[in-house]
Amino acid sequence: GESVGLHLPTLSVQEGDNSIINCAYSNSASDYFIWYKQESGKGPQFIIDIRSNMDKRQGQRVTVLLNKTVKHLSLQIAATQPGDSAVYFCAENTGNQFYFGTGTSLTVIP
Amino acid sequence: SQTIHQWPATLVQPVGSPLSLECTVEGTSNPNLYWYRQAAGRGLQLLFYSVGIGQISSEVPQNLSASRPQDRQFILSSKKLLLSDSGFYLCAWRRWTGTGNTIYFGEGSWLTVV
């Protein structure tokens, strides 16, 4: 299977600060990447995606950056809110298969 | 609208008992469907995926099997559960986001084998 990892298993940020969650992937052939948010007891929720021919994509308060040279993906959350507390997963797609990292647990401190 | 449902939401089963988890999607046809398992505090492990009726691909050898008897129905089964089968089981389907074909998850099924 593919190897998708995260640099840090936990991250704590102050409410209102920006959060950055990082992810490394190993398969150079992967051409599509996704970030998910998983709240306790629920299924992962799609946040934002990016194709390998892009370096950056922005959504509402979130930005995904892709560095193909070092096979690194990051999710930036602006003005982090208590509702952002969750586990965040990156995923890479090759063909019909999606492989997930182990997740980073984000805690927002009020 | 396009939705995905899976059930039951929670179940407690004794070791050696059978298992059947069901997943259905609505509002689409011929979707790619997936079963993932998530152990407590761990990432998502791909178990099976299906590109059509009767077509199942298995990612890891295990005590589980999957079937796709209808276009929008995906079933995860076991004849005899093991303690190690406990976990959070997630059905997912593939949809176009405008950027790529990503997978969207159902609500999940919590399985505890005792």
Give the gap in angstroms from C-alpha B112 to the nearest C-alpha of chain A: 14
CB contacts of B106 in chain A (<8 Å) are 43
Contact with chain A for residue B107, Cβ under 8 A: yes
Chain B nearest-CA residue for A39: B107
Q: What is the pLDDT of residue A53?
A: 94
Joined tokens for residue B89? 């089981």
Q: Residue B27 carries which DSSP code? A: S
Question: Using the 8-state DSSP alphabet, how is residue B42 labeled?
Answer: -
What's the mean per-residue pLDDT of chain A?
90
Closest CA in chain A for residue B44: A100
> Residue B4 — pLDDT band, cuts 50, 70, 90?
very high
Contacts of A32 in chain B (CB under 8 A): 99-102
Q: Is the pLDDT of residue B28 over 90?
A: no
DSSP state of B33: E
| Residue A8, pLDDT score | 53
Among A31, A33, A92, A100, most B C-beta atoms within 10 A, so best to mutate, is A100
* Mean of per-residue pLDDT scores for chain B: 92
CB proximity list for B78: less than 8 A, separation 6 or greater: B18, B19, B63, B64, B65, B85
In this prediction, residue A109 carries a pLDDT of: 96
Asked if B43's CB is within 8 angstroms of A96's CB, the reply is: no
Quickly count: other Cβ atoms within 10 Å of residue A89's Cβ. Answer: 25
- Yes or no, beta carbons of A89 and B43 under 8 Å apart: yes
Confidence at residue A2, expressed as pLDDT on a 0 to 100 scale: 38
pLDDT tens digits, A59-88: 999 999 999 999 999 999 999 999 999 999
Give CA–CA dist B76/B92, Å, rounded. Answer: 12
CB distance B109 to B8 below 8 Å: yes
Tell me if A6 sits within 8 A of A24, measured CB to CB.
Answer: yes
Q: What is the mean pLDDT of residues B44-60?
A: 91
Q: How many helices (H) and strands (E) does chain B have?
A: 0, 11
| Percent of chain A topping pLDDT 90 | 73
Contacts of B35 (CB under 8 A, 6+ apart): B21, B23, B46, B47, B48, B49, B66, B74, B76, B89, B90, B91, B92
Question: Is the confidence at residue A3, as pLDDT, over 50?
Answer: no
> When comparing pLDDT for B106 and A101, which is higher?
B106
**What would the pLDDT profile of B76-109 be if each residue is shown by its tens digit?**
999 999 999 999 999 999 988 888 889 999 999 9
pLDDT band at A26 (very low <50, low <70, confident <90, very high): confident
Average pLDDT (B51-67) is 89
